[in-house]
Amino acid sequence: MDFEILTFDFKFTSKYNKIPPNLKIMIDNECVTNVAVEDSYHIKYDKKLFFEDHNIKIIKSGKTNDDPDQALIIETIMVDNINLQRLVYNNSIFYPCYPEPWATQQIKTGNALQNSVIGDKFLGHDGTWNLSFSSPFYKFLIKEIG
């Protein structure tokens, strides 16, 4: 057998005044969900994965200048009932897309904007969050967490 079936369990909350953030979850190249998160959102999903490298992408979108406080918060990510919080803090990378004219104003005032943020669970900007892993998953966990 050269594959396994893993259960992914994602929980999110949102913060906004006018427009809820949009959430798109991709496991490898498959879209698992694409929804607006009005308060909280929970999805559990089984996925057959071959023994190779994989990637979870969380794409946050929908922020406008009319709702600058909009955010998507990753509450938990679990795989086969194992909370991945430690992996998220150490191995995930968020690539923010900064809005204009805010980004230009920040740069002009001397504030450097990060191209990537490690371990971010509070997605205040639109962008793509990534967590790479491999399968078999238990071997990956042993290697990463010890």
Q: Domain range for residue 87? A: 3-145
Its pTM stands at: 0.94
Q: Measuring CA to CA, which residue among 73, 125, 117, 61 is closest to residue 91?
A: 117
Whether residue 1 has pLDDT greater than 80: no
The larger pLDDT score, comparing residue 48 to residue 144, is at 48
Query: What CATH number did the domain enclosing 130 receive?
Result: 2.60.60.40
Q: What is the pLDDT of residue 66?
A: 87
Q: What pLDDT, on a 0 to 100 scale, did the predictor assign at position 77?
A: 98
- pLDDT at residue number 37: 98
Tens digits of residue pLDDT in 19-47: 999 999 999 999 999 999 999 999 999 99
Mean pLDDT of 82-104: 94
Q: What percent of the chain has pLDDT over 70?
A: 99
Residue 138: per-residue pLDDT: 93
- Residue that wins the pLDDT comparison between 1 and 116: 116
Q: What is the pLDDT of residue 144?
A: 85
Average pLDDT of every residue of the chain? 95
Q: What is the pLDDT of residues 47-74, one digit of tens each?
A: 999 999 999 999 999 999 889 899 999 9
Mean pLDDT of 81-105: 94
Cis upstream peptide for 99 (omega within 30°): no
Q: How many domains does the chain have?
A: 1
